[in-house]
Structure 1
Amino acid sequence: MSYLYKPRHQNQSPAPSRFRVLPIAAAAAVLGVTAAVGVAVHASTPAPVADAQSVTSADPSGTGAGPAGRDRQRTQAAPDAASAPSKAPAGTATSKPAPPAASASPTKPAAPAEKELAYRFAWQENFYYCGPAATRIALTARSMYPSQSEVAQSLHTTVNGTNSADDTTRSLNEYTKTSFYKSHFIPGQSATQAEIDQMQADVVNAITNGYAVVANIAGSTVDDKGNSHSYPGGHYLTVVGYLDGGKTVKIADPADALGVGYYTLTTAKLAHWTALRGYSA
């Protein structure tokens, strides 16, 4: 487009109207043509279309190409948390219903009211072998038959006898290759009720599990038949059974003066007889 130069001078007369109007009209015409051409070009260019697969999967109706539509597509494509199946991540423990209370923990069978072990009795071979003889009787209840001299070596027995219940506990565990036996001591001049109850529980537990008890006693007592048994210098004997829930015990005595070798007495009497000493059970 061309235009006429107009000098800026106050006395110059205004230019004819054709010089002012025609260039503006021409410019407007050119702009109009340009706009028309631009619209035509814009109209002839195809608008970008979303991927057909994504449109179909997001909105089955094919509508909603605008922002609101895209929001609706995202909403429709997201799974419903309430209706979607719950899947725990791999390795996550899932909760299971608790088992019935009756089967939650197995009940330990009650000990029998009375029980006696099968054992092989033998008199002590000399005056200081009561420890080896009583320990050997206990081992025969486990089907073990060492000689009294062999047991004496294990107990470190001398002519002065066997030291304490700690020795019989150690030897019994060595022979049976277990740690079942423990040493229990009654330190007072007589047993307390708690110590009597403990001895009763220990005897029942040992005999029920097939283990005889070896007790280190001293002094005198009377058995259930009224017979007296006296060992002022100390003695070892074996508990091979119990009756009345453990309130009465059966004794295998390798030095029984009556020549019988066994008798019964209350557990309370045995506990008092064991005072100042101990037992292996």
Structure 2
Amino acid sequence: MSYLYKPRHQNQSPAPSRFRVLPIAAAAAVLGVTAAVGVAVHASTPTPVADAQSVTAADPSGTGVGPAGRDRQRTQAAPDAASAPSKAPAGTATSKPATPAPPAAPASPTKPAAPAEKELAYRFAWQENFYYCGPAATRIALTARSMYPSQSEVAQSLHTTVNGTNSADDTTRSLNEYTKSSFYKSHFIPGQSATQAEIDQMQADVVNAITNGYAVVANIAGSTVDDKGNSHSYPGGHYLTVVGYLDGGKTVKIADPADALGVGYYTLTTAKLAHWTALRGYSA
């Protein structure tokens, strides 16, 4: 029996098309297409999203924009004040700089209130003769200013005669000459009795004079009664000195150089003194 040798691959079925051997040129074309398709597929593949921890680490605000990005956004949205233009655009209202308020005027010093009562230090002396009441009362007032002329010297200043001293104008002039001042003024009560306004004025004048260290000389006439009920009468007129006050000036202390009681001083209301001075006047 004869044996015919046949290669085994000749009897096998043809290989599937995917395993077919292609010519070199065709294979190269297939490889080029495959590479192009691979690139396209790779480009369209979504980028993997980082987990929450990596997002927080990259952007603490959770906005997905890094620090550098946020800085750029802030710079674009709100430019720095230093780089903003200093001049407002035309037509824009601008506020004027505030005008500084003028300094406040210094407060005027407050005059201290007068004490409720005060008495001057003075040196008393009885009048030397019956017509020296003016010189004696004026001299008592001067001793409150530490001045001690004789009654005769004061009489010459007052132009006093045996008829007495003319008026309060004379005591005012003499007191200003001795004290070298213009403190004293003459005040007159022309009516038969003092009005309430004249009483108030005398009270204010007495308080002002005594507070400033000046005694008051009053020219009186007629009769009155002091706070102790004692009567004092000078029908022809008389001069006496106010050397102090009490009750805010409602009561006065009198130094009388011709006091018939021999005491030399007493107190009475300012209202009584004002009525006693009616038709005459006083220096204060």
Q: TM-score normalised by the shorter chain: which range applies?
A: 0.5 to 0.7
The verdict on how the C-alpha distance between 1:68 and 1:24 changes in structure 2, with shifts beyond 3 A counting, is: farther
The verdict on how the C-alpha distance between 1:63 and 1:273 changes in structure 2, with shifts beyond 3 A counting, is: same
The equivalent of 1:203 in structure 2 is 206
Q: Counterparts of 2:237 and 2:10 in 1: how far apart (Å)?
A: 152
The verdict on how the C-alpha distance between 1:153 and 1:107 changes in structure 2, with shifts beyond 3 A counting, is: same
Contact map agreement 1:4 1:19 (CA 8 A) in 2: no
Q: CA deviation at 1:8?
A: 123
Q: CA deviation at 1:11?
A: 120
Q: Counterparts of 2:7 and 2:172 in 1: how far apart (Å)?
A: 134
Q: CA deviation at 1:6?
A: 121
Q: CA deviation at 1:106?
A: 1.2
Q: CA deviation at 1:67?
A: 46
* 66-75 vs 220-229, greater mean Cα deviation: 66-75
Contact map agreement 2:141 2:217 (CA 8 A) in 1: yes
- The runs of 5 or more residues in structure 1 that have no matched partner are none
The equivalent of 2:251 in structure 1 is 248
Q: Counterparts of 1:174 and 1:5 in 2: how far apart (Å)?
A: 178
Contact map agreement 1:58 1:74 (CA 8 A) in 2: no
Contact map agreement 2:253 2:266 (CA 8 A) in 1: yes
* 31-40 vs 58-67, greater mean Cα deviation: 31-40
Q: CA deviation at 1:207?
A: 0.1
Q: CA deviation at 1:59?
A: 43
Q: CA deviation at 1:57?
A: 50
Q: Counterparts of 2:177 and 2:168 in 1: how far apart (Å)?
A: 14
The verdict on how the C-alpha distance between 1:82 and 1:48 changes in structure 2, with shifts beyond 3 A counting, is: farther
Q: 1:109 aligns with which of 109, 112, 115?
A: 112
The verdict on how the C-alpha distance between 1:60 and 1:13 changes in structure 2, with shifts beyond 3 A counting, is: closer
Q: Does 1:235 align with 2:241?
A: no
Identity %: 98
Q: Counterparts of 1:5 and 1:154 in 2: how far apart (Å)?
A: 186
The equivalent of 1:55 in structure 2 is 55
Q: CA deviation at 1:47?
A: 62
Contact map agreement 1:129 1:148 (CA 8 A) in 2: yes
Q: CA deviation at 1:20?
A: 93
Q: Counterparts of 2:231 and 2:3 in 1: how far apart (Å)?
A: 152
Contact map agreement 1:218 1:233 (CA 8 A) in 2: yes
Q: Deviations over 1:148-203 (max 9, x none)?
A: 00000000000000000000000000000000000000000000000000000000
Q: CA deviation at 1:56?
A: 50
Q: CA deviation at 1:104?
A: 1.3
| TM-score normalised according to structure 1 size | 0.65
Q: CA deviation at 1:105?
A: 1.4
Contact map agreement 2:59 2:65 (CA 8 A) in 1: no
The verdict on how the C-alpha distance between 1:9 and 1:138 changes in structure 2, with shifts beyond 3 A counting, is: farther
Q: Deviations over 1:42-93 (max 9, x none)?
A: 9999999999999999999999999999999999999999999999999999
The verdict on how the C-alpha distance between 1:62 and 1:193 changes in structure 2, with shifts beyond 3 A counting, is: same
Secondary structure of 2:20 counterpart: helix
Q: Counterparts of 1:21 and 1:256 in 2: how far apart (Å)?
A: 166
The equivalent of 1:164 in structure 2 is 167
Q: Counterparts of 1:245 and 1:131 in 2: how far apart (Å)?
A: 27
Q: Deviations over 1:211-235 (max 9, x none)?
A: 0000000000000000000000000
Q: Counterparts of 1:133 and 1:174 in 2: how far apart (Å)?
A: 16
Q: CA deviation at 1:108?
A: 0.5
The verdict on how the C-alpha distance between 1:78 and 1:91 changes in structure 2, with shifts beyond 3 A counting, is: closer
Secondary structure of 2:257 counterpart: coil
Q: CA deviation at 1:19?
A: 96
The verdict on how the C-alpha distance between 1:87 and 1:253 changes in structure 2, with shifts beyond 3 A counting, is: farther
Contact map agreement 2:139 2:149 (CA 8 A) in 1: yes
The verdict on how the C-alpha distance between 1:115 and 1:61 changes in structure 2, with shifts beyond 3 A counting, is: same
* 47-56 vs 255-264, greater mean Cα deviation: 47-56
Q: CA deviation at 1:277?
A: 0.1
Secondary structure of 1:22 counterpart: coil
Q: CA deviation at 1:127?
A: 0.1
Contact map agreement 1:213 1:238 (CA 8 A) in 2: yes
Q: Deviations over 1:233-259 (max 9, x none)?
A: 000000000000000000000000000
Q: Deviations over 1:113-145 (max 9, x none)?
A: 000000000000000000000000000000000
The verdict on how the C-alpha distance between 1:106 and 1:66 changes in structure 2, with shifts beyond 3 A counting, is: same
* 213-222 vs 22-31, greater mean Cα deviation: 22-31
Contact map agreement 2:217 2:242 (CA 8 A) in 1: yes
The verdict on how the C-alpha distance between 1:276 and 1:54 changes in structure 2, with shifts beyond 3 A counting, is: farther
The verdict on how the C-alpha distance between 1:201 and 1:127 changes in structure 2, with shifts beyond 3 A counting, is: same
Contact map agreement 2:224 2:276 (CA 8 A) in 1: yes
